[in-house]
Each structure stands twice: as structure tokens, then as C-alpha cells.
Amino acid sequence: MLTLRQSLERGHADHGWLKSHHSFSFAEYYDPAHMGFGPLRVLNEDRIAPGTGFGTHGHRDMEIISYVLDGELAHKDSIGNGAVIRPGEVQRMSAGSGIRHSEYNHAADRTTHFLQIWIEPAVAGIEPGYEQKAFTAEEKRGRLRLVASPDAADGSVTLHADVRLFIGLFDAAEKAEVPLDPGRQAYVHVARGSVRVNGRTLQAGDAAKLVGEARLTLDGGQQAEVLVFDLPA
């Protein structure tokens, strides 16, 4: 079964410096029908105004992925990491027993557009950790590139959860067709452009939940960037 959720159905928050769309209940947005999907708990599409950002704040027991679509995101945390995340780079922060961090857009004239993803870990109280890797457009062109997994397969960042995240770029005749384990489920999020998911057309911000499906087909893309989560049922 494929269930479509359109972009406009998401929660929305406008804080002036931050404009955010919430795929699942988050902060002041609460919808009991959309509390998460398996261990995928948060998928926020955030836009941070120039010269602003999230001040130092804490997290516990969550695998947090940041994926920048445009601009740059400066990260600093309490375990000694300081880095800038750029488009195509995937950052994984394991909050574990507790971590504090900040995220800023230091550009004077450019908005930072990124996806913030929270995944519930398989085990609580682990030692906090950090990892960041770059994946080129060529690696994702016309295919689904594994970027996060529990076993660091294919050079992906390591998640402390039974979740795999793939990202692909699709345009014109480019197509991906992959089998799905019917005992698991998949979540497809279109970050930009448009693409057909098992014959259904999705636009930027749209998502599809796939339960009991044997195959995922992505085609008919128009400058599409797509995230696919392989999740336990």
C-alpha cells in the first residue's frame, strides 16, 4: 500500500529567522495521525535566515541527521566537534547520553536550506558521537546512493538504528527500480523537483509511505532530489 502525504499537509512554523515545515509532530505542531513512521521521528525542512541560527541546546537518545540542500550550516558541539556542512554532505550526530550543540548560518546574504532528521536509536544511553561525509552528485545521479546505515556499508555514515537512508537525483529518463522487503516499510520524501513513485507523481515536500510493497520505482523525474528510508515495520 502506498499512502501519499502532500507538502501542504505538513505542519508549518514561521519564527522570522527560521521557517520550517514539519512532516511529523514537532514542537508546537501536534497531529496524532503523524507522530512518526517506525523509528523515523522527525523530518523538518528548515530555512535559516542569513546571520542567524540555533543557539546552544541539548539532545539525548536520538540519531540526528542534517542534510544541506543550499547554503552552509556551521556546527559546534560539546564533544569538541566544529564543522561546516555543505550541500551533498551528510552529518550524523548521536545524542546518546547527552550532547549540546549549535547550528548557524553565518552567510551575510544567503539562506541555508536543509533537512533535519531524527531517528530513534536501537539502544539508549550510548556515548555521544559525530560523523560527517560528502557524497557527490555523480554518486546519486539516476540511482539511490546509500548514505546512512547501521553497518557503515558502502562508505555511509553509521546509524545506531535499524534504518538505511538513500538519496538519489532523477531527471528526464533516469530511473531506479529496487526490490523492497515486504516485512519492512519505506518512506520516500521529495526534497526538490518532482518524481513518480510507483506511478504516483510527487512534488517537492511531498512524501509517500510504502507498506507491504514489493518494489520501489522512481522515474519521470524533473530535477528531483529524493530521500528513501528503509525502516523496520
Q: Are the C-beta atoms of 201 and 151 separated by less than 8 Å? A: no
**Which band of pLDDT confidence, cut at 50, 70 and 90, is reported for residue 4?**
very high
**Which band of pLDDT confidence, cut at 50, 70 and 90, is reported for residue 149?**
very high
| 173 C-beta neighbours (distance < 10 Å), count | 9
Closest C-alpha among 8, 7, 230, 6 to residue 119:
230
| This prediction's pTM | 0.96
Q: Are the C-beta atoms of 100 and 66 separated by less than 8 Å? A: no
Domains of the chain plus CATH, in order, are 10-134 (2.60.120.10), 138-232 (2.60.120.10)
Query: Phi and psi for 9 in degrees, rounded to 5?
Result: -80, -10
Q: Which amino acid is at 11?
A: G
pLDDT tens-digit map of 176-220: 999 999 899 999 999 999 999 999 999 999 999 999 999 999 999
Q: What is the mean pLDDT of the chain?
A: 96
Mean pLDDT of 58-82: 93
Angle at 164 (CA atoms; ends 1, 205), nearest 5 degrees: 60
Q: How many angstroms separate the CA atoms of 124 and 121, rounded?
A: 7
Grid cell locating 124? 539508549
